[in-house]
Structure formats: C-alpha cells, structure tokens
C-alpha cells in the first residue's frame, strides 16, 4: 500500500516532469531565464531576446498569426518610423540585419525556438532558414496576398452554394 508521503513525492515528481498535463506550470524564473541582446545600427535598433513564459503570455505571442518558411533564404525590410517583430515558434535560422543607409553596417543573429526579434527603424533583413521548416509568429497578419486569396475563394464558394440551392 502506498503511504501518503510516497504518494505526495510521486505526485510532485509527475508535476515536475509534465506540469502542463495536470494544468499546472512552474514559475517562469525556474524554467527559463530571459536573455537580451540589443544592437544599435546607424539608423535602426535590433533587439533579440527570449521572453519568459509570463512575458509571452502578456504579449499574446501564441495568438499571433503564423508564417511557415522553408529551408533557404528570404528577405524583408523595415522602413523608417516602423518596427518589425518576429517570434520563432519552431525551427532555426540566422538573420542578417543591415542598415538601410550603409551595407557595411550589419549584424548577424542566430535564432531558435523562443527567440523574439524586434527591429525598429530602416533596415533590411536577410533570413537563412537552416531547419527544414521554420514557423514565425507576427503580431499582425502580414501575408495579405494569401489572405485575399482565401477571402476571394470563400466568397466564390458561398456564391456557388447559394446559386445551387
């Protein structure tokens, strides 16, 4: 027969090994420490950090739209007065951030799951996805072409259903 002490120890071990299965999470500070790296290019500021679980929840990161990127390179830019925010949900990559004004003014960062990249000001970003696929989360829906295609398809489908009924 299992004693109360043994049962308590067993339950504590189960909560440590798989806390989410029981609806519990450990305090963030004991699970993951946030790291921060901020770089100032001539015209842009780049911040790379690993937000704690609590910070991620407050920012609503898990609710952000996602973009799937295949292995290889892609580029994007951030214009003057704007900011660009990317959270790596899955996969690994490196990103080279170059000042829009000076190609020699650049920094390279390695990102992995849990990394949050924030760029403010004019800069060009060249991403190199090193894993077979990477999933990025963004605070707003930025794949407007895909969204428009889905919306048009939905309207056509609804029109066809109405016409056939």
Each residue's pLDDT tens digit, 8-39:
554 554 444 443 334 333 332 222 334 556 66
Integer CA distances (angstroms), 164 to 36, 131, 152, 155, in order: 58, 46, 18, 14
Q: 39 is written with which tokens?
A: 């770089």
Residue 51 has pLDDT above 90, yes or no: yes
> For residues 77 and 22, is the Cβ–Cβ distance under 8 A?
no
Higher pLDDT, 68 or 17: 68
Q: What is the bridge-based pairing of β-strands 116-120 and 83-90?
A: antiparallel
Q: What is the mean pLDDT of residues 63-80?
A: 93
Which pairs with CB-CB distance under 8 Å and at least 24 residues apart come from 20-27?
Answer: 25/53
Q: Where in the chain is the domain with CATH 2.60.120.10?
A: 32-139
Higher pLDDT, 25 or 83: 83
Residue 42 has pLDDT above 70, yes or no: no
Residue 49 has pLDDT above 50, yes or no: yes
Question: What's the CATH fold of domain 32-139?
Answer: Jelly Rolls (2.60.120)
| 65/72 Cα distance (integer angstroms) | 21
**What are the φ and ψ backbone dihedral angles of 12, each rounded to 5 degrees?**
-60, -40
Residue 147 host element (H or E) = helix 144-164
Each residue's pLDDT tens digit, 98-132:
987 777 788 999 999 999 999 998 999 999 999 99
């Amino acid at each position: 027969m299992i004693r109360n002490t043994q049962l308590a120890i067993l339950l504590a071990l189960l909560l440590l090994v798989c806390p989410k299965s029981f609806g519990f999470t450990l305090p963030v500070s004991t699970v993951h420490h946030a790291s921060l790296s901020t770089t100032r290019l001539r015209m842009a500021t780049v911040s790379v950090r690993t937000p704690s679980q609590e910070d991620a929840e407050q920012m609503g990161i898990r609710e952000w739209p996602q973009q799937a990127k295949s292995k290889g390179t892609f580029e994007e830019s951030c214009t003057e007065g704007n900011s660009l925010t990317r959270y790596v949900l899955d996969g690994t990559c490196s990103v080279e951030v170059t000042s829009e004004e000076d190609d020699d003014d650049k920094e390279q960062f390695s990102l992995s799951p849990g990394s949050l990249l924030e760029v403010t000001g004019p800069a060009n970003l060249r991403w190199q996805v090193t894993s077979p696929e990477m999933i990025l989360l963004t605070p707003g829906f930025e794949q407007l072409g895909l969204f428009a295609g889905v919306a048009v398809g939905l309207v056509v489908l609804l029109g066809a259903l109405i016409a056939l009924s």
